[in-house]
Amino acid sequence: MNPKLRDVAEHAGVSVRTVSNVVNGFRYVAPATRERVQASIDALGYRPNMAARTLRRGRTGLVALVVPEIDSPYFAELAARTVRIAERRDLTVLIDQTDGDAEREKQLLHGRRSQLVDGVLFSPWAVAPAELAARTDTVPLVLLGEHDGAAGVDHVAIDNVAAAREATGHLLAAGRRRIAALGIQPRSLNATARQRLAGYQQALAEAGVPAEPDLAVPVRRLHRADGHRAMLELLDRAEPPDAVFCFTDELALGALRAAADRGVTVPDDLALVGFDDIEDGRFSVPALTTVSPDKDRIAELALDRLAAEPGPPRSIVAPHRLVVRGTSVTPAG
């Protein structure tokens, strides 16, 4: 039988109201009293009636995280961090997957399941800017990642242009000049790939290296197999690149395998840089140089925006760093 507030109050020698204040996080409780009540809660195994608390507060304690692919290493790692950080805030995360399907993204954008949650963290791939502008659902929404036409909506992202410029600049500083960019998605409405292409082009321009259009290679998806196919095509050209900036680590890992299949040595013959800093890249041979978004900070900032008081939408930039490993530099000695 679940103990009641009265049982905890008797055990701790305080009033029921004091126990209620502790359970509900009321800050004006003496530290010693709070500790005594918490000790009684732990000793008796008291659990609050969440349904009753929801009715009183008008909140569920649930947030939704909507991603295109939960089996994508980047989104899986971001989801894991979001769940851990949310738990520290007494929140539960419900995860949904859209597969980048436009209709499914529209349904979730316009309120499907939103009655269940206090807010939505949303990483769309296919939804059009007009759909964002037409959203009428009042549940707080924060976009994760850049998206054209996202004015009027909170979103959290790293500076993709700056990150791509740094990654390409690193390859240029190593003496590479025929640098391919792998990851353009012409049919995608997500602005991330276009921003990474812009950063790549900026770095080339700053170094006085002409941008060769045929070195900017489109892919259908952002998976290892797509990187493998595109890299094989690049390596089979009469003038293959001497470096590749891949828009995701999955693409870079596929490209790394293609180089091995063609007998191309990395990084001596071909330098590679990825993006996302997924765990697999730390264990590839050579280990993958990559842009590392601060996934913990992205999750924290997004949850902060969901909890913020209503106000003008904000575009928040999360930190990133370039992690240099063996696919772009030859180890000393």
- The 10s digit of each residue's pLDDT in 254-273 is 999 999 999 999 999 999 99
For residue 111, what is the DSSP state? T
Q: What is the pLDDT of residue 132?
A: 76
Share of the chain above pLDDT 70, in %: 90
The answer, yes or no, to whether residue 51 has pLDDT greater than 50, is no
> Distance between CA atoms of 140 and 142, rounded to whole angstroms?
7
The answer, yes or no, to whether residue 2 has pLDDT greater than 90, is no
Three-state DSSP class for residue 157: strand
* pLDDT tens digit sequence for 55-82: 444 577 899 999 999 999 999 999 999 9
Q: What is the pLDDT of residue 99?
A: 87
- pLDDT bracket for residue 331 (50, 70, 90): low
- 295-298 — which CB contacts under 8 Å span 24+ positions? 295/77, 295/78, 295/81, 296/81, 296/85, 298/78, 298/81, 298/144, 298/156, 298/157, 298/158
pTM over the 0.85 mark: no
Q: CB–CB of 190/155 below 8 Å?
A: no
Q: CB–CB of 127/107 below 8 Å?
A: no
The answer, yes or no, to whether residue 223 has pLDDT greater than 50, is yes
- pLDDT bracket for residue 47 (50, 70, 90): confident
Q: CB–CB of 120/108 below 8 Å?
A: yes
DSSP per position, 174-242: TT--SEEEEEE-TT--BSHHHHHHHHHHHHHHHTTPPP-GGGEEE-SSSSHHHHHHHHHHHHTSSS--S
Tell me the two tokens of residue 237. Answer: 């050209």
The answer, yes or no, to whether residue 203 has pLDDT greater than 80, is yes
Q: How far is CA 286 from CA 82, 83, 252, 294, 328, in A?
A: 30, 31, 12, 23, 9
36: Cα within 13 Å, side-chain hemisphere: 14
Tell me the two tokens of residue 75. Answer: 């989104």
For residue 139, what is the DSSP state? S
- The span from the first CA to the last CA of the chain, in angstroms, equals 68
> Distance between CA atoms of 141 and 119, rounded to whole angstroms?
6
Of 202, 201, 197, 251, nearest to 223 (Cα)?
Answer: 251
